[in-house]
Chains A and B, each alone.
Chain A
Amino acid sequence: MTTVTATVIPEAERGEVTQLKVIRSEWIKLRSLRSTLFTLLAAVVAMVGLGYLFSYFTADRWSHLPPGERLHFDPTLTSLRGFFLAQLAVGVLGVLVVSGEYATGMIRASLSAVPRRLPVLWAKALVYGVVAWVLMTAAALIAFLVGQAALSGRHLGTSLGDPGVLRAVFGAGLYLTGVGLIGVGLGALIRNTAGGIATLFGVLLVVPVLVEALPSSWYDAIDKYLPSTAGQGLVHVHAEPNTLAPWTGFAVFCLYAVIALAGAAVALRRRDA
């Protein structure tokens, strides 16, 4: 009879778990799910497709636009408008990267393989962060280029060399990466897909609307520190009134991501899987 467990793994091939190996594992996990492909594809399509459409229709309707709108026209932002929809896809996938494991029980396998646990969270954040950043930056760049092409017919376009434009284009990728990472943190903290998604978009989309209902002095004090307002400042070439400087705002936005991930780390260490 041959040994029932097939060949034996020799002592020399029995390596320890390292952060790098866990990153490899998370990369395999991320790319082996169809939901990853579809969600990221949706984000890219939203980014490029909407960027083009917004630009095209703006150019088309330019002569009908009220003078106020023409005055504040930001061709870069117009071509990057798709980020508003893309953030839904990127945020949902961020939550799913963790909550999907809780929903299926996979988390037990993951944490049995890596009982120190935190390497799993860091690897998930890093792998997803890098993937989201690369894809969304590329999508933003493409969206910008096709958008400017649509606007150039009316000579409304701008170029990457103009002041603030490069920052806005890369800012879109950075903002979306941040949304994804906040999603990862919330997914690990809440461990439930619906709850994680609801919380993420509650914070990004609903809270700003609620804050608008506050007295204006309160609104002015609070709104600029909200993750959405602070993070999106980077995408605006011309600063909106009552906002932080773009990079200051982005730092505040990053702080939210750090808090979400730190909270997730503490919870992951303490809670039963």
Chain B
Amino acid sequence: MIEAHSLTKRYGERTAVQDLSFTVRPGAVTGFLGPNGAGKSTTMRMLLGLDTPTSGRAVVNGKSYADHRAPLHEVGAMLEARAIHTGRSARNHLLALAATHGISVRRVDEVIDLVGLRAVAKKRVGGFSLGMGQRLGIASALLGDPATVILDEPVNGLDPEGILWIRNLLKGLAAEGRTVLVSSHLMSEMALTAEHLIVIGRGRLIADTSVAEFTARAAGDQVRVRTKEAEKLRALLAGPDVTVSSEEPGVLLVTGITSEWIGRVAAEEGIALAELTPQQASLEEAFMELTRDAVEYQAPAAQGVGAGTEGRAA
């Protein structure tokens, strides 16, 4: 369990994170989304006690990170900048971390096998590819068998096989009842991996929602209709809350009413429909719309931190 209570971090004049509150629950993968520079990494560093919040508090498994006597058994983390000395071998890196908690050599070899680095475990990390570095970062995070796992952009640099592996790993960790917080700037990746989403932009909370809810909202209410009697249907559908546009002859894009309603109107009037499709606006588009709004906010005052309704209104 991770709780952020009104976290704020300022670096001089610049506010990296502003009044950010959220809770990450165990048993599910929570995606932490935001464009680059949104404050994801800063937030994660505050969760780990590496950066001190200007105000507010971060609590992990019931305590401030620094108050844990055996933090690696509580929280395993991989931070974006690979926090690994390039001159050391992967195994020695893990052995050094393990030694701080008295974790056994057997466990070190176990996590090396788990992430598939056995063949290169004795090679210097400086020669690792980005993907191998990520795997080692994940091995470090899992070393202490922690209840909470925090990973910053774990799929960066992984090949398709590696991405699939991460996806299954994260789901498996959550299924074991762990708290899993994963940051990404790729909405599509999170849609496949996460069940819950925390979206931030410019250091503020934009949305704290389930992926299902986000997907439903992203789907929007646009319906694509194809018919030979497009103009007749357009006139029939007209109403105060309804907008109808057309990008090509015979195709209408309708917002404001459901596909069921359109179908019923067409049936009553005897209009044959060739196509009637609720439009799945892509998640990436929905995400960009949300965060674009966040970027565009000029006055930081009085911005709601609710469920992202502002994003939709724009």
Size band of the interface chain A makes with B: 35 or more
Stretch at the interface among B23-31, B47-55, B209-217, B227-235: B47-55
Minimal Cβ-Cβ distance residue in B for A22:
B100
Q: B118 to chain A: closest CB distance in Å?
A: 12
The reply to whether A104 and B110 contact each other, CB–CB distance below 8 Å, is no
Known: A29-B88, A106-B84. A17 touches B172 (CB 8 A): no
A6's partner among B49, B84, B110 (CB-CB below 8 A) is: B110
The reply to whether A112 and B73 contact each other, CB–CB distance below 8 Å, is no
**8 Å CB interface, A29-47 against B:** 29, 32-35
**A17 vs B89: C-alpha distance when bound (angstroms):** 23
**A14 vs B101: C-alpha distance when bound (angstroms):** 8
Q: Taking the complex as formed, is B168 at the interface, i.e. its CB lies under 8 A from any CB of chain A?
A: yes
Known: A28-B92, A108-B83, A112-B65. 17 other contacts (CB 8 A): A4-B114, A4-B169, A6-B111, A7-B110, A14-B101, A16-B70, A21-B100, A33-B88, A100-B87, A104-B86, A105-B83, A106-B83, A107-B83, A109-B84, A111-B49, A112-B48, A113-B72
Taking CB atoms, residues of chain B closer than 8 Å to A101 are: 85
Minimal Cβ-Cβ distance residue in A for B84:
A106
B81's partner among A3, A13, A35, A105 (CB-CB below 8 A) is: A105
Minimal Cβ-Cβ distance residue in B for A5:
B142
The reply to whether A115 and B45 contact each other, CB–CB distance below 8 Å, is no
Q: Taking the complex as formed, is A152 at the interface, i.e. its CB lies under 8 A from any CB of chain B?
A: no
The reply to whether B85 and A104 contact each other, CB–CB distance below 8 Å, is yes
Taking CB atoms, residues of chain B closer than 8 Å to A24 are: 99-100
The reply to whether B89 and A32 contact each other, CB–CB distance below 8 Å, is yes
Q: Taking the complex as formed, is A116 at the interface, i.e. its CB lies under 8 A from any CB of chain B?
A: yes
B92's partner among A3, A17, A32, A105 (CB-CB below 8 A) is: A32
Taking CB atoms, residues of chain B closer than 8 Å to A4 are: 114, 168-169, 172-173, 176
Q: Taking the complex as formed, is B144 at the interface, i.e. its CB lies under 8 A from any CB of chain A?
A: yes
A109's partner among B51, B97, B114, B176 (CB-CB below 8 A) is: B97
Q: Taking the complex as formed, is B103 at the interface, i.e. its CB lies under 8 A from any CB of chain A?
A: yes
Q: Taking the complex as formed, is B69 at the interface, i.e. its CB lies under 8 A from any CB of chain A?
A: yes
The reply to whether B68 and A100 contact each other, CB–CB distance below 8 Å, is no
Taking CB atoms, residues of chain A closer than 8 Å to B95 are: 28, 32
The reply to whether B97 and A113 contact each other, CB–CB distance below 8 Å, is yes
The reply to whether B107 and A9 contact each other, CB–CB distance below 8 Å, is yes
Taking CB atoms, residues of chain B closer than 8 Å to A113 are: 71-72, 97, 100-101
Q: B92 to chain A: closest CB distance in Å?
A: 4
6 contacts between A and B (CB under 8 A): A6-B113, A15-B70, A100-B87, A107-B83, A112-B50, A273-B45
Q: Taking the complex as formed, is A1 at the interface, i.e. its CB lies under 8 A from any CB of chain B?
A: yes
**A3 vs B142: C-alpha distance when bound (angstroms):** 12
The reply to whether A109 and B83 contact each other, CB–CB distance below 8 Å, is yes
- Of all A-B residue pairs in the complex, the 3 with the closest CB atoms, nearest first, are A4-B172, A32-B92, A25-B99
Interface 1/0 per residue, A170-214 and B, CB below 8 Å: 000000000000000000000000000000000000000000000
Q: Taking the complex as formed, is A221 at the interface, i.e. its CB lies under 8 A from any CB of chain B?
A: no
Interface 1/0 per residue, B91-113 and A, CB below 8 Å: 01101110111111001001101
The reply to whether A25 and B97 contact each other, CB–CB distance below 8 Å, is yes
Q: Taking the complex as formed, is A272 at the interface, i.e. its CB lies under 8 A from any CB of chain B?
A: yes
**8 Å CB interface, A77-103 against B:** 100-101
